[in-house]
Amino acid sequence: MGLPRWLPLFAQLVALPLSGTWAQDTIRVFVVPHSHMDVGWLYTVQESMRVYAASVYTTVVRELALRDHRRFIAVEQEYFRLWWDQMASRTQKLQVRELLAHGRLEFVSGGQVMPDEAVTHVDDQILQLTEGHGFLYETFGVRPQFSWQADAFGASATTPTLFALAGFNAHVISRIDYELKEAMVHAKQMQFVWRGSRSLAEQQEIFTHVLDYYGYCTVGYSWEGDAPFPARLQDMAYTNLNDPVTVHNIETYLESFVLSVKLRASWYRTPHILWPWGCDRKFFNAGMQFANMDLLLSFINTHSSQLGITVEYATLSSYFQAVHAHNATWDVRGHQDFLPYSSEESQVWTGFYASRSPLKGLARRASALLHAGESMFTRYMWPRPGRRLDPGWALKQLQKLRWAVSEVQHHDGITGTQAVQVRDMFVGHLRAGVQAVLRLMASIVLGRPRDSPGARGRRVGSTRSERWGRPAGMTPRPWPSPGEPCGAALACLFLLHGGPPPPTVVHENSKECPPSVAGSEPEGRLAAVYNPLAWTVTTLINLTVSVPQVTVTDESGHPVEAQVQRSKEIPHKYDLYVLTTIPGLSYRYYSIRPTEQAPDGKQAPSATMTITSELDLKPRKLRTRPRGQNLVSVKNDCYTVFLDPDTNLMHSIWERWNNRTVSVTQEFLEYTVNGDSNDGPVSDNYVFLPKGPADPAWEAVRVEIERGRLLTEIRQYFYRTMDAKEHTYAIYSRLAHVPPARELLCGRLEQELRVGPLEVNREAILRTSTDLHSLRVLHSDSNAFQMQRRLPRDYLAHAISRNYYPMVQSAYIEDSRSRLVLLSEQAHGVSSQGDGEVEVLLHRRLWNNLELTQYFNVSLKDPSIVRPVFWLLLGPPSMTTRLRPRSGLALQHRPVVVLGRLTEADSKRPVARQQEAVTLPPSLHLQILSIPGWNYSSDHSEHLQNLQKGFPRKARADLRRVLLRLQHLYEIGEHRVLSRPVTVNLKSVLRGLGTLVAVEERSLTGTWSVNSLQRWRWRTRNAGVGARVWVLPARPFRLCDLERPLAPSDSAAALNLPEQLVRRGFGSVPACQGSTQVCAGSSRPSAPQGPVVTIGPKEIRTFFAHFQRQ
């Protein structure tokens, strides 16, 4: 045959200079087939399943089964779960199990979605990962060990920490700033060991691989074309169909492949090259794709000796095993993240931090409601389940919202970067899940069997989705119209926007929705208030009433101090505030009646009315009045807020801890952006590119002050013009009048904003300007888990947008004496553009002529109004350090209020005895208390055996296993006292749920016993980076000496525990042996009694808890 005509060219390719100790080695190429399947971007989940997603799994499973050498990785679980539950045949399910057993199909990441990393909350990241892992382990007994975050828009330092806690061995990312990636490529630093948490450091480090310039897509090797969506939905970006591989063109494919391999090999430090093979919506015709790949890869290997290259189908497991075996020494990266992300100079991806603000708010409130519903249901089931509802039905209600909240964490979900119809899908799923959980909560809390939707055979009604949250682009209706039908199971719900803090409210079943809590019905309302936090909360709950004369009494019939004031949003309505103190995971009950309808005809004390004062409309102008001269003050025992009557703007704040007055001014401004790509780069759902500095968005301000005994509210209305009839912006600031001892409530200034509607191609910000000498240094949070220090960077182009960062929950600026903290209800963008300034990107209204906008309606053009909520803390760093984590949680997990009709029987009903409160030390947070419903043995071998015996029977939900997760809120060295390790006795903390009989410590998502979890160790050269001061022992805590013998009902099988961990009928227990033991029943006292665990700074510890059924 002679020499191939392409061989001289490849002699030049082989001679390409390669550096490193392996330069003479054969390059080993690991081809990893995959399909990137967005769970909602341009197409809805339903459209994607119908057109391509189901075909991916159907054809991939078939093709893998035909050829043993082929491989495939699956990432997002949502599509796979839909395919598995609704479409897969018995034969296909058997094939999947066989492929998994032999490592030919591998699940990576394994979460419900591939989540965003910039604007997601750590709780929601854990939820979606746990949802996917629970399904995979229960169904297949597999546990993902490698991540695939190939399309998230930047990389958070929290995400690798979570993956390490879940038992992962390596982490894959791709989208990092283009300038940084170029520098890392040049320095061969595309692989490193990442210690994403400053406090956890090497304990939870993870090997990290950055995909090269090609990212996760393989261009030029697609032999199946594009998924056959209808013409109106065709993705204009992916239309290429490559020619099939033949003897006539295989040399051309070979040239391109080998050139790319040699180039990639020059960027990494080992001869092992990861080649992701696939892209968006690929492998829907896996037969065509694999057939051509087989020809090309086989041809390359035939000439591997001449080329110096071998190529093989691979999974991430086989690739990282090869890299690990190379035993190289790696650089260490500390807890810095890779945010913000720019893909090129004019593509600064910081706009999505604020895109679709209503969706971001809805997702966060849904998550908070789920958190409350989980613990409420767990407390209902333990120690003795009630008889009012079917637990199986209850679990399904929670599962609906778990799915919806997990789904929206997708990197084109909560980011607001999806098409309008996909946004509507996310909103619809969230509202349906919320309504389901609210039905459950109403059934539990109101305790009236006639209303229980859990009765067998009863059809549960539904409500229209508009009744929860607010449709994007619409002003929320605080109450449905009088006489509007509400459905059989849930009357109506809305999140109160006008009170501190606005709780979640759900009404009891009724035929019509009342327009208010009291006043429309003579008997009034019963309000059950639930605290979802594991500590005692003192706060103000806010309800809307129709009349100002109302009386509030508690469970014992004693009057409760309350305040009424004119509603700021609803004409002819009133805001009712009630001061309440609620123990952890407990309830308070209040009766709310019109005063003239007080019990026994007696005149009960009415809620006090506020005194209203006004400052006339003032035009915008520079402040000229010297500080402290004729200012208007509003104060409580912690702060005094001063207003400048010349401008009606905030002037300054005095804080008691430093006895210092800090100049503080707040105003709304707008950035103008370009919408015509012919005139230059444009802002879109992803990108933020302002034309210049922000301009004031108002010309005049009017002020109202509502002064009351419980709180005082400052209402600032900002008008776009002097003669405007309606305000465009508003700030409602509240100070609670409580003693300084109630520091969490006294020590915050609560603010609710009203923003919009905006003009097209405007981006609205709230800028807070102070006289703090912060030098433009900003601190913003990483997924509400840890803080990042953001130094100002002076870029030559787009310096404004490139100095924006995500603010998931908190941000602050400071000088040597004081710190100003902003806590947010939802994600926003945040920046410090000037000394002493912090600005928050609140809302965006955009329209452009980009392809995504024109063809897919990926736009932000709706004239919506948004109502962000912030809490401000001002004081010395020691005070704000102490209060910030708990205040952030208090904002996130506000009390849930369930409203029912107040009957005469309720007035005479004796006070019910409550379960004992759940209270944790101030450094700890109960991240989750739930009944997940998984049905698998804690012993891995036993679980695999059960799977072999039980397939294909679907396991029944296990309602006995309780998932418990505890989180330490503080970093090492952050606070003199609160940063210390905390030791808790779980038996004591959880005694309100009954007698604890067994506890197991698990990995983050519950699929590993920590006793068997052994992650890979990697050699590092700068081991001192991020080194810990305090180090936990490698073993988990020991659980011994519980007080009673296990009952017969507490068998190992009943508890889903391995037999060796449960022993019955003995009088004493020897000292625990090994790293994890669950011991039962000791007649001898122990000190301390029960399971004791020590949790170090920033640790997240996960347990399965089992209680004695009563």
- DSSP letters, 698-709, are -SEEEEEEEE-S
Judge whether 785 and 158 are in contact, CB under 8 Å: yes
From residue 983, give the alpha-carbon distance in Å to each of 923, 986, 1095. 10, 9, 6
The strand ranges marked E within 47-90 are 72-74
Query: How many CB atoms are located within 10 Å of the residue 485 CB?
Result: 15
How far, in Å, CA of 369 to CA of 896, rounded?
8
Token pair 């390409």: residue:
16
Query: How many CB atoms are located within 10 Å of the residue 234 CB?
Result: 16
How far, in Å, CA of 767 to CA of 895, rounded?
29
* Secondary structure of residue 1043 in the 3-state scheme: coil
Give the amino acid at 767. Answer: R
**Dihedral of alpha carbons 111, 112, 116, 118, sign:** negative
- Radius of gyration of the chain from its Cα atoms, rounded to whole angstroms: 30
Name 978's Cβ contacts closer than 8 Å, sequence gap at least 6.
Answer: 881, 882, 922, 923, 969, 970
From residue 648, give the alpha-carbon distance in Å to each of 717, 719, 767. 9, 12, 16
To the query of whether residue 151 is one of the catalytic residues in this protein, the response is yes
Plot region of 80 (φ>0 → left; ψ -120 to 50 → alpha; else → beta): alpha
Query: How many CB atoms are located within 10 Å of the residue 677 CB?
Result: 14
CA dihedral 491, 497, 502, 506 (to 10 degrees): 0
CA dihedral 317, 320, 322, 325 (to 10 degrees): -120
The strand ranges marked E within 976-1059 are 982-985, 996-1002
Q: Which two tokens stand for residue 105?
A: 């199909």
Q: What is the DSSP letter of 1011?
A: T
| DSSP-assigned beta bridge partners for residue 755 | 729, 866
Is the bond leading into 922 cis (omega within 30 degrees of zero)? no
Judge whether 402 and 537 are in contact, CB under 8 Å: no
How far, in Å, CA of 606 to CA of 321, rounded?
72
Judge whether 375 and 930 are in contact, CB under 8 Å: yes
The strand ranges marked E within 409-517 are 493-495, 504-507
Plot region of 40 (φ>0 → left; ψ -120 to 50 → alpha; else → beta): left
* Secondary structure of residue 874 in the 3-state scheme: strand
Report the 3 state secondary structure along 469-492: CCCCCCCCCCCCCCCCECCCCCCC
Burial of 1042 (C-beta count, 10 Å sphere; 0-12/13-18/19+): buried
Q: What is the DSSP letter of 49?
A: I
The 8 Å CB, 24+ separation contacts for 209-212 are 209/170, 209/171, 209/172, 209/173, 209/274, 209/320, 209/323, 210/173, 210/174, 210/176, 210/181, 210/184, 211/150, 211/172, 211/173, 211/174, 211/274, 211/276, 212/185, 212/264, 212/267
* Among 425, 569, 539, 544, CA closest to 492: 544
Catalytic annotation, pick one of 116, 123, 124, 151:
151
Judge whether 478 and 568 are in contact, CB under 8 Å: no
Active site residues: 151
